[in-house]
Amino acid sequence: MLRQSLISDQQLAQQVSLALEEDIQTGDITASLIHEDKEVTADLFSRQVAILCGQDWVKQTFAQLDDKVKIIWQVNDGDTINPDQIVCTMTGAARSILTAERTAINFLQTLSGTATQTQQYVDAIQDTETKVLDTRKTIPGLRLAQKYAVQCGGGVNHRIGLYDMILIKENHIEAAGSIELAMQQAIKLTETASTEEPLQIEIEVETLKELHQALNAGAKRILLDNMSNETLIEAVKINKLFSADNNTQAAKLEASGNVSLETIKGIAQTGVDYISIGSITKNLSSVDFSLRFRE
């Protein structure tokens, strides 16, 4: 995966700058106890099995604080790391390494946590054709970083924000008056929108009746919200029959709601194209890293 295709160098630098400002402000008081000429070599290692993600954030943290610190990486983003495995080695001013340590690890532990949890879901359905999607349920200010982490874990990005895709949900339908009216307005919007790429339309349905309405309204991507596996199986059948009867390409179906590592396999086996999972970016468990100076 190419990080720059999702988050630019400038955006990444801004994230790191804000994090350093939050932590350091007027200066690292404790690091001043160390002589400014003291140089050290330190190893950053993992305490658990995980998927690494966040190298560029670590690099940028040290680049902004002290670009003389040299970092040699033993692994790359997307690689599996094991307990006590050295991830990278740093050489440079002790003060700089101590001051940058927490900010660098905060990025690394958070993004690796996102990538690791994503991979667990991806692995759980690896023998199906269903893809794992992320959502907009991300840490404020770190959406693009977490979207990249999802890619590192083998997942697929849904829309990035409110600007790059039309997603018609329950309240939109209520406000518009009906599924048909909401779809009509959305289709008109795509025909007049001044975007580089054509806007995709997805609409949420909660019942098979609403699914029929969405298909008849021209929906090509449909979010099946909180449906049982039995209902999802019926939804897949309805979608295929509608496609055959109307000689059109079948709509892409996305399941959402009540997804866990225990339930995802059964959901995927219903035949849906996608499963969106908010927990991979909002309920993540950070990966445990530790930095140790060599004697």
Tens of pLDDT, residue by residue over 129-147, are 999 999 999 999 999 999 9
Is 137 one of the catalytic residues? yes
Q: Which of 23, 43, 102, 220 is catalytic?
A: 102
Is 210 one of the catalytic residues? no
- How far is 249 from 77, CA to CA, in rounded Å? 37
Nearest to 80 by CA among 44, 111, 55, 116: 116
Same domain (yes/no): 130, 270 = yes
Give the tens place of pLDDT for each residue, 177-204: 999 999 999 999 998 877 677 899 999 9
Q: Which of 38, 68, 70, 169 is catalytic?
A: 169
Q: Which of 56, 225, 254, 273 is catalytic?
A: 225
Same domain (yes/no): 68, 211 = no
Same domain (yes/no): 180, 237 = yes
Same domain (yes/no): 104, 238 = no
Same domain (yes/no): 56, 67 = yes
Is 28 one of the catalytic residues? no
Q: Which of 77, 101, 204, 210 is catalytic?
A: 204
Percent of the chain with pLDDT over 90: 94
Q: Tell me, what CATH number does 112's domain have? A: 3.90.1170.20
pTM value is 0.95
Q: Which of 47, 136, 137, 252 is catalytic?
A: 137
Domain count, the chain: 2
Domain that holds residue 52: 3-116+284-293
Q: Per-residue confidence at 1, pLDDT binned at 50, 70, 90? A: low
Is 102 one of the catalytic residues? yes
Q: Is pLDDT of 2 > 70?
A: yes
Give the tens place of pLDDT for each residue, 246-295: 999 999 999 999 899 999 999 999 999 999 999 999 998 999 999 999 98
Averaged pLDDT, 1-7: 83
